[in-house]
């Protein structure tokens, strides 16, 4: 089981108004995830599953909607973001089932959860985020309906992964850029 697999996860209060918006709430509720209304912090409840991955994805989508923060030294990212018309979001996961048979269901479970919550409801989630952030950046943001894996990327685009990353994931025989 993933270390963060749980049936309850608590976050600060700043995200709660966003998660109470109808698109996000519907995406969560349709997948057995509820928000605790009795407290001021954002508290998610569900059957045991990797809730942190869903929260993290929503945080990444907030970052795509808001764009880079000008006060942080991210000049290369700022330039790319400003010139991009279309942004594509997809989590990249390591499919542990290739090396740990007893963990195969964890990858499958989160992949399915991501597809149902984020993949099926991505546009509604983005709309909620844009309203919550009170911003329209005119960026087309596409959300891949399923996560992609490091293994797939290594096979499909062998020059994509840096050698040290490929070595870390045990993919050095499939790809890599020599650094």
Convert the pLDDT of each residue in 67-76 to its tens digit. Answer: 887 766 778 8
155/82 same-domain check:
no
Please give the tally of structural domains in the chain: 2
In a domain? residue 38: yes
CA dihedral 101, 149, 120, 29 (to 10 degrees): 50
167/123 same-domain check:
no
20/61 same-domain check:
yes
In a domain? residue 94: no
pLDDT tens, position by position, 115-174: 999 999 999 999 999 999 998 778 899 999 999 998 888 888 878 778 888 888 888 776
pLDDT of the residue at 179: 52
- Tell me the pLDDT band of 176, cut-offs 50, 70 and 90: low
In a domain? residue 73: yes
In contact, 141 and 87? CB cutoff 8 Å: yes
pLDDT of the residue at 160: 78
pLDDT tens, position by position, 39-69: 888 888 888 788 888 999 999 999 999 988 7
134/152 same-domain check:
no
111/37 same-domain check:
yes
What are the CB-based long-range contacts (under 8 Å, 24+) for 45-49?
Answer: 45/7, 45/8, 46/7, 47/7, 48/1, 48/5, 48/6, 48/7, 49/5, 49/6, 49/7, 49/109, 49/110, 49/113
Instruction: Tell me: pLDDT of 178 over 60.
Output: no
In a domain? residue 66: yes
In a domain? residue 1: no
123/107 same-domain check:
yes
155/79 same-domain check:
no
Structural domain harbouring 79: 6-88+99-143
In a domain? residue 51: yes
pLDDT of the residue at 5: 61
In contact, 15 and 28? CB cutoff 8 Å: no
In a domain? residue 93: no
Instruction: Tell me: pLDDT of 89 over 90.
Output: yes
């Amino acid at each position: 089981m993933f270390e963060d697999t749980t049936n309850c996860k608590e976050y600060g209060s700043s995200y709660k108004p966003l998660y109470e918006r109808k698109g996000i709430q519907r995406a969560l509720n349709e997948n057995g995830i509820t928000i605790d209304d009795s407290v001021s912090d954002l508290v998610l409840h569900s059957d045991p599953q990797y809730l942190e991955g869903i929260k993290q994805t929503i945080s990444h989508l907030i970052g795509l909607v808001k764009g880079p923060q000008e006060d942080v030294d991210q000049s290369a990212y700022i330039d790319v973001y400003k010139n991009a018309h279309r942004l594509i979001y997809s989590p990249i996961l390591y499919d542990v089932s290739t090396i740990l048979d007893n963990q195969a269901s964890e990858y499958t479970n989160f992949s399915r959860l991501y597809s149902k919550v984020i993949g099926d409801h991505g546009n509604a989630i983005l709309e909620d985020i844009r309203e919550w952030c009170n911003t329209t950046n005119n960026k087309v943001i596409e959300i891949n309906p399923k996560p992609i894996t490091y293994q797939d990327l290594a096979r499909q685009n062998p020059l994509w992964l840096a050698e040290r990353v490929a070595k870390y994931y045990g993919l050095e025989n499939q790809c890599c850029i020599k650094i």
